[in-house]
Amino acid sequence: MTETAQSFLAQIHPYDSLPDGVLGEIADRVEWVAMAAGDPIYQHGAPLHGLYIIFSGQVSVRDAHGKEVSQLQRQNSFGERGLLQDGKAATSASATEDSQLICLPRDLFHKLRAEHEPFHRFFDRSRSGDAAEALRAFDLTSVRVETLMVPSPLTCPPTMTVQAAAQLMRDRHISCLCVVENDALIGILTIRDLSGKALADGLAHDTPVSMVMTANPRVLPPSAIGSDVLHMMMEYRLGHLPVVSAGRLVGIVTQTDLTRFQASNTAGFVAEAARAETAEALAEVTKRIPNLLVQLVAAGNRHDVVTRLITDIADVVTRRLLHLAEAEFGPPPARYVWLACGSQGRQEQTGVSDQDNCLILEDGLDAEALAYFGPFAQFVSDGLDACGYIYCPGDMMATNPRWCQPVSVWRDYFAGWIKSPSKEAQMLASVMFDLRPIGGDASLFEGLQMETLEAAAANSIFTAHMASNALTHATPLGLLKGLATIRSGERRNTIDLKLNGVVPLVDLGRMYALQGKLDVVNTRARLEAAMAADVVSKSGGRDLLDAYDLVAQTRLNHQADLIKQGRAPDNFLPPARLSAFERSHLRDAFVVIKTMQSALMQGRGVLG
């Protein structure tokens, strides 16, 4: 096989957190298992030989009553529930197509659980129900698009005739062709285009596909996750999504029953929000988000998966409000892009979120055109508030004229902050480095983003001030590395898991992105990109990722617990509610964060 077991497993969590030597030992001991379509892998109640990981193909998992609970594919694992109980299969599994599996022997599985905390933590999170194992293993929120996509999809030039295209699609048993010119994707041709445009309009057989294709189709990068595919399909009523990397077509994902099944919970929210006709109807959708958070956490999803899904809903709500605003005030007189900053910008929204946003407009607008966007922004902001995304206490919103400006003004803003990094400039730059386009014309921001990153990274005085600003949020560690709680007021005897837990990590991630001129915004993605770019050492980065996962997961679990009690979620956790084991690990996480802050202060950006 061209791809080794070690290189394959190194791409999958939690194996990616194991030392290279351990990963090599695993690769030496795993067994390759070839299964033909229809072959049973194991039956419910049978002894399990080990944990199975899918290298290629597809596997169906059924519960004790024979009901299919999931279909799994590459990188998904199954069998752990039985291994964690009595060593007997809790489900039945069979190959639905020719498949290659990797079997991790039972004794090695338990050895890894006993000796490696990330492995133990990943597989020992509490589950509920016979189908839970399969649902987690094949959850679109943990599958990257590059895993779901069909690589190197069939393409055609724009000059191909519709008849030739139809014949090619028939002969290859496919439902679409990607239209490529000079190695660039310019359109997509689907069966719907052929029937609804070429055939229905009686076009000649030699009509070029460029006349009936969907030009400039929506695309996703390989780094997107499976739920991004489903949510975009639900919002825009798409059946096919090309995957593009660095301007090149690398794959395509089509809508299937499988993808609908995988993200059915959040897809329902997205579909309802995308069809809502009023802000009140949107509020009916968003008021159910707290219960969704509880369900997602209870299902064992990681914090970054939960926050990504919750942010997806906020994004759709925002875009729907932009659409409703255009219907209310008429077509916009100029191009604009609505951007989110803060937790929505970073795709890290939890159960407690205000709104942070701004508008970038195209240059050259007259006073009348500029005046359109005042009530427009107010309509959207009011709608977000009605949906539970409360007004920003610091007025960091597009309703503030300061944050609703042409692109040239924004360019001056960033240049001024970088040139003269006052306290306010540092604060504003920190917020604005987390900007992410939500609706409108994203091209207004793209050039500005990279231009600003390069200018900021090149200014050592600015980066020094930003580094200093990143250290203003201290971790809640006492003198003897115990947990230091708030001493007075209504939050007495609690720790603020946002201000003193997550925010220091967000600050570090932002600084690493600035140092490496990395254009990713999500904190976890920034930490991973910083490791890949050698901005931070591999050992330091892995420790910081583990610390981030623990703090963020603890925060999310705390919010879910409050919601289950019928209380409003917050960020203030009484450490006394944690076990001694949990407190110890939380202290260790804060020690890692503090150490990395010290490294940043010393200009090293590394650990140990």
Confidence of residue 142 (pLDDT cuts 50, 70, 90): low
Confidence of residue 588 (pLDDT cuts 50, 70, 90): very high
**Are the C-beta atoms of residues 37 and 97 closer than 8 Å to each other?**
yes
User: DSSP assignment of 381-447, as one string?
Assistant: HHHHHHTT-BPPTT--STTSGGGEEEHHHHHHHHHHHHHS--HHHHHHHHHHTT-EEEEE-THHHHH
456-506 pLDDT per residue, tens: 888 888 888 888 887 888 899 886 657 889 999 999 999 999 999 999 999
pLDDT given at position 569: 93
Instruction: List, edge to edge, every strand of the sheet that includes 31-35.
Output: 31-35, 99-105, 50-56, 77-78
Residues 382 and 284 in one domain: yes
Please give the helix or strand (H or E) that residue 60 lies within, else none: strand 58-62
Q: What is the dihedral of CA 507, 358, 285, 295, to 10 degrees?
A: -10
Residues 576 and 445 in one domain: no
How far apart CA 103 and CA 9 sit, in angstroms, is 12
Confidence of residue 71 (pLDDT cuts 50, 70, 90): low
Instruction: List, edge to edge, every strand of the sheet that includes 58-62.
Output: 40-42, 92-95, 58-62, 68-73
**Are the C-beta atoms of residues 332 and 325 closer than 8 Å to each other?**
no
Confidence of residue 127 (pLDDT cuts 50, 70, 90): very low
Supply the mean pLDDT for the chain.
86
Coil, strand, or helix at residue 493?
coil
Residues 556 and 436 in one domain: no
Angle between helices 423-432 and 407-419 (to 10 degrees): 130
Asked if residue 457 belongs to a domain, the reply is no
Residues 498 and 397 in one domain: no
The stretch 389-414 carries a mean pLDDT of 94
The yes-or-no verdict on residue 275 having pLDDT over 90 is no
237-251 pLDDT per residue, tens: 888 999 998 889 999
The yes-or-no verdict on residue 139 having pLDDT over 70 is no
The yes-or-no verdict on residue 151 having pLDDT over 70 is yes
Amino acid code (one letter) for 471: L
The stretch 99-112 carries a mean pLDDT of 93
How far apart CA 230 and CA 266 sit, in angstroms, is 9
pLDDT given at position 147: 67
Confidence of residue 330 (pLDDT cuts 50, 70, 90): very high
The neighbour count for residue 427, using CB atoms within 10 Å, is 15
**Are the C-beta atoms of residues 456 and 335 closer than 8 Å to each other?**
no
Confidence of residue 10 (pLDDT cuts 50, 70, 90): confident
Residues 481 and 576 in one domain: yes
Asked if residue 458 belongs to a domain, the reply is no
Structure tokens at 453: 């990153």
Residues 277 and 253 in one domain: no
User: Which of 97-111, 224-238, 300-314 reaches the highest mean pLDDT?
Assistant: 97-111
In this structure, what CATH number is given to the domain that contains residue 219? 3.10.580.10
**Are the C-beta atoms of residues 441 and 338 closer than 8 Å to each other?**
no
Residues 340 and 440 in one domain: yes
Per the model's pLDDT, the better-predicted residue between 172 and 376 turns out to be 376
Asked if residue 130 belongs to a domain, the reply is yes
**Are the C-beta atoms of residues 322 and 338 closer than 8 Å to each other?**
yes
Look at the chain and report how many structural domains it folds into.
Answer: 4
How far apart CA 532 and CA 513 sit, in angstroms, is 11
b/e code 336-365 from CB counts within 10 Å (16+ = b): bbbbbbbbbbbbbbbbbbbbbbbbbbbeeb
Per the model's pLDDT, the better-predicted residue between 469 and 541 turns out to be 541
Coil, strand, or helix at residue 260?
helix
Confidence of residue 299 (pLDDT cuts 50, 70, 90): low
Residues 247 and 302 in one domain: no
The yes-or-no verdict on residue 171 having pLDDT over 80 is yes
Residue with tokens 């009916």: 284
Residues 114 and 168 in one domain: no
pLDDT given at position 605: 42
The neighbour count for residue 493, using CB atoms within 10 Å, is 12
> Could you say which DSSP state residue 210 is in?
G
Residues 432 and 391 in one domain: yes
**Are the C-beta atoms of residues 396 and 342 closer than 8 Å to each other?**
yes
**Are the C-beta atoms of residues 265 and 289 closer than 8 Å to each other?**
no
In this structure, what CATH number is given to the domain that contains residue 280? 3.30.460.10
Coil, strand, or helix at residue 593?
helix
Structure tokens at 193: 């285009």
- Per the structure, the complete domain to which residue 90 belongs is given by 5-134
Asked if residue 478 belongs to a domain, the reply is yes
How far apart CA 13 and CA 305 sit, in angstroms, is 13
Residues 122 and 74 in one domain: yes
Of 99, 134, 169, the domain-final residue:
134
pLDDT given at position 601: 79
Coil, strand, or helix at residue 540?
helix
In this structure, what CATH number is given to the domain that contains residue 489? 1.20.120
Q: Which of 466, 436, 413, 279 is nearest to 358 (CA)?
A: 436
Structure tokens at 490: 């209504």
b/e code 147-171 from CB counts within 10 Å (16+ = b): bbbeeebebbebebbbbebbeebee
Asked if residue 593 belongs to a domain, the reply is yes
Asked if residue 269 belongs to a domain, the reply is yes
Please give the helix or strand (H or E) that residue 525 lies within, else none: helix 523-532
In this structure, what CATH number is given to the domain that contains residue 110? 2.60.120.10
How far apart CA 429 and CA 423 sit, in angstroms, is 10
Residue with tokens 């791809």: 3
Asked if residue 545 belongs to a domain, the reply is yes
**Are the C-beta atoms of residues 252 and 224 closer than 8 Å to each other?**
no
Asked if residue 142 belongs to a domain, the reply is no
Residues 480 and 572 in one domain: yes
Q: Which residues have C-beta within 8 Å of that of residue 72, sequence separation ≥ 6?
A: 54, 58, 59, 60, 61, 78, 134, 137, 138
Instruction: List, edge to edge, every strand of the sheet that includes 240-245.
Output: 150-151, 248-254, 240-245
Of 260, 279, 313, the domain-final residue:
260
How far apart CA 93 and CA 103 sit, in angstroms, is 13
